[in-house]
Amino acid sequence: MKPASTRLALLALAATLLTTACSSNIVHHTTYYTDTSRTAQYQDTRIRFLVMHYTEIDEQQSLDVLTKEQVSAHYVVPDHPREKQGEPIVWQLVPESQRAWHAGLSSWQGTTELNAASIGIENVNLGPIDTPQGRTWQPYPPEQVNAMIRLAKDIVTRYNIPPTRVVGHSDIAPQRKIDPGPLFPWKQLYDAGVGAWPDDATVAKELAGRDPHAPVDVRALQQKLAAYGYEVATDGVFDERTRRVFAAFQMHFRPADYSGNPDAQSDAIAQALLDKYMQSAAPEPARPAP
C-alpha cells in the first residue's frame, strides 16, 4: 500500500486534472460564460451546397468587384493561378463561416436561400464571347481546373456535400444566369470525386434505342428535373421558363447541345441521374408520341 502522503498527492493531482478539464469547457464571453461540456447529438453544418460561377471579367477586375461592390464569393480561382511549393494559390475573400452574396434569388432541392447554405466559388473566365461569326466560350485552362478541383474536393470532403448539391449558378437560377457555361469541366470534377454525373451505360439503357433528338413528353421531363433539384413547373407547358430550365440542365450534363428542347437524350440523362443519386422512385422514361 502506498504511503498516506503519496495517496493524498495522487488525489490532489486527480482533483486538479478534473478541475482543469471542467474549467476548459467554461468559455468566457465578455459579460457571461458558456458551458460547452454537453453537445447536442442532432445538428449539422450550415454549408450544404457548393455553387460554381464564372466572373465574366479578368482577375483584377474580379477582385475589385467582389471586394468593393454589393456582391461577393468565398473563393476566386484565377485562370492562371500562382503557385507556392508546386501548389496553386486561390483567393479567399469571405470566411467559410460567413455568408457571401453570390447566389441571389435562387432555388435548389427546395432550399431558396442559397447564400445562407452554400459556399460560392468564382472562376475567372470571360464566359460567352460574341463575335460576328457567332458566340464562342472561353475555355478553362488546365491549371485553373487543377486548382478548382483541389479546392472543391477539400470543401465537399470537409462538409460532406452530396454530389447532387455541387451545382452551377445556372442550375439554381436558370431564369437569369448561364454561368459557369458549357465549357465548365463538370466531368473532370466528377472524375476527381466532386459532383454528380450520369453513367453512360444507364443513359444508353434509358434511351432504349430512341433517337436522341426525338421529342419527349414535356411534363415527364419537368417532373424528373424537379425531382433532381431544379425549380420548374410540372404542368406540361413548354414555355420560355421551362426551356431555360431544360437548357441549364443540358448545359451541365450535355453541353454539346443546350438548345433547351425536350428530347430523348435529356430524358435519359435525367432518369440516369435519378437512378444513381435519388432514393425516391423516379418517373418512368417518357416515350415519344406515336
pLDDT tens, position by position, for the chain (290 residues)? 556 666 666 555 555 545 545 567 898 898 999 988 888 988 778 899 999 999 999 999 999 999 999 999 999 999 999 999 999 999 999 999 999 999 999 999 999 999 999 999 999 999 999 999 999 999 999 999 999 999 999 999 999 999 999 999 999 999 999 999 999 999 999 999 999 999 999 999 999 999 999 999 999 999 999 999 999 999 999 999 999 999 999 999 999 999 999 999 999 999 999 999 996 444 444 444 43
Is residue 122 annotated as part of the catalytic site, yes or no?
yes
- Kindly name the residue from 87, 122, 143, 206 that is annotated as catalytic: 122
The answer to whether the beta carbons of residues 253 and 232 sit under 8 Å apart is no
**CATH domain 49-191 topology:** Lysozyme-like (3.40.80)
| CATH dotted code for 200-277 | 1.10.101.10
pTM of the model: 0.86
In 31-177, alpha helices (H): 59-68, 142-159, 169-172
Strand partners, 191: none
Q: Where are the domains of the chain?
A: 49-191, 200-277
- DSSP result, 128-158: EEEETTEEEEPPPPHHHHHHHHHHHHHHHHH
- Classify the phi-psi angles of 167: left when phi > 0, otherwise alpha if psi is within -120 to 50, otherwise beta: beta
